[in-house]
Structures are given as C-alpha cells and as structure tokens.
Amino acid sequence: LSFLSGKEPPMLLLHGADDTTVLPLHTRKFYERAVSLGVSTQKQILPDRGHANLVLALSRLQDRDNAVRKEVLAFLPR
C-alpha cells in the first residue's frame, strides 16, 4: 500500500478465498487504494484456492486448472 503512486500499469489481483497465508482483506485494501489512485485494477477472489494454488495453477504441474490461466489470459491484452 505504501508504495502505490498511481503511475502503475494495469493490475490483475488474484486471490484464493481459502488463503490463510495472506488474507483476502489485504488484497481488498490494495485494490481499493490502487483504484483510489486511478490505477486500472481488476480483482478476482477465486473460490476453493489457497495461497500456493494460484501459483501452481500457472505451472505445468496443474494443467487441468484452467480457471487461473483463463483470468490471466483475459487480462493480458489490456
């Protein structure tokens, strides 16, 4: 939060609803601050995902988990 300046490129914030390492509250606060500074920001809380699940979903180890990849690929053209 402290380092947001409003000059950041568009951001995609993905968070697992089951994340107990970083609570969804932190993503919500970051999102709200970024938006208040005029940063184009998209937030998605993904159900049934923990902290590591989002990163693993982008690896070849989890080819069957397309929900995370779909969110990222839809955001990239922005």
Query: How much of the chain is in helix, strand and coil states, percent to nearest 5?
Result: 40, 15, 40
Residues 6+ apart with CB under 8 A from 48: 16, 17, 18
H or E element at residue 16: strand 11-16
Can you give the pTM of this predicted structure? 0.80
Question: What would the pLDDT profile of 14-55 be if each residue is shown by its tens digit?
Answer: 998 899 999 889 999 999 999 999 999 999 988 888 888 887
Looking at the predicted structure, is the pLDDT value of residue 62 above 70? Answer: no
| HSE-up (13 A, CA, CB side) for residue 76 | 6
